[in-house]
Amino acid sequence: MDYSASELMIVNAARALQGNRVVFVGVGLPNIACNLARRTHSPEMELVYESGVFGARPARLPLSIGDPTLVSGATAVGNMLDLFTLYLQGGLVDVALLGGAQIDRYGNLNTTVIGDYEQPKVRLPGSGGACEIAINAGKIFIIMRLRRRAFVEALDFRTSPGHLDGGDARQQIGYPGAGPERVITDRALFNFDNTEREMTLVELAPEETVESIQADVGWALRVHPNVRTMRGPSQDELSMIREELDPQGLYR
């Protein structure tokens, strides 16, 4: 069956969300993944947006995290103080989806600058809510394309903490949330199921090999003893994405 790299990420993210009640959603791929999950295995899933919306029922694909379609028909819409204090810091978010321009082996993320902070080569958007989401959400799923420039040995800037320097560093510093659990990319899937909390290759897209992935990862990659193959989208998942969630193919 023919599908795009984005569609592969979306369906794998949607499947990973199964069993989670409250999901903190970003716009774009994460948003499509969450809505796919709600329409397939998790109808009870509640979508939280940092714009202050809880229990959104978007009638169309939101154009931004502040789209009016997220407000009309939502369960509750409050101010951002409530969203960040009562919902996120309050510990009600089960899982949040984050991405970044750079990621390291411990799932720490950079969305601030490429190059020096004062004289940046590229000025990126910055934290938004990502820094506190990474600290307070129950767990984190990271969704980003696997590219050499993104999977780096050392971040230019640490915007959002993953497992810091690994091991029990998060517990030591006292974060409420458990941090990154999975990294979902267009070419492979990773988890952190080891005491060092180091990113581990567990699944490969059909045409990929351990070597082809290692070639685009900036550190000596930890590989699971038996690496499986990523399951592609089903026909149902594809048609739901193409016909309902992203009819214009903005994220194709």
Catalytic residues: 50
Residues 39-58 that bind other proteins (CB under 8 A): 46, 50-55, 57
Which residue is associated with the tokens 């000025």? 123
What 14-17 contacts at long range (C-beta under 8 Å, 24+ apart), as own/partner pairs, is 14/40, 14/237, 15/41, 15/231, 16/141, 16/182, 16/184, 17/42, 17/45, 17/95, 17/141
- The only residue of 63, 154, 234, 247 in contact with other proteins, by rule CB under 8 A: 63
- Complex with other proteins: residue 165 or 193, whichever CB lies closer: 165
Whose CA is closest to 235, among 44, 13, 7, 60? 7
- State how far the Cα of 169 lies from the Cα of 167, in Å rounded to an integer: 6
For other proteins, the binding residues in 123-152 under the rule CB under 8 A are 123-132, 135-136
80/227 Cα distance (integer angstroms): 42
> What character string, x for contact with other proteins (CB under 8 A) and - otherwise, covers 94-123?
------------------x----x--xxxx
Site for other proteins (CB under 8 A): which residue of 18, 19, 68, 168? 68
- Rounded to whole angstroms, how far apart are CA atoms 36 and 23? 13
Q: Out of 14, 25, 34, 88, which residue is the one contacting other proteins (CB under 8 A)?
A: 88
Per CB under 8 A, 75 contacts other proteins: yes
Which residues make up the interface to other proteins (CB under 8 A)?
A: 21-22, 27-28, 46, 50-55, 57, 59-60, 63-69, 71-82, 84-86, 88-92, 112, 117, 120-132, 135-136, 157-161, 164, 169, 173-176
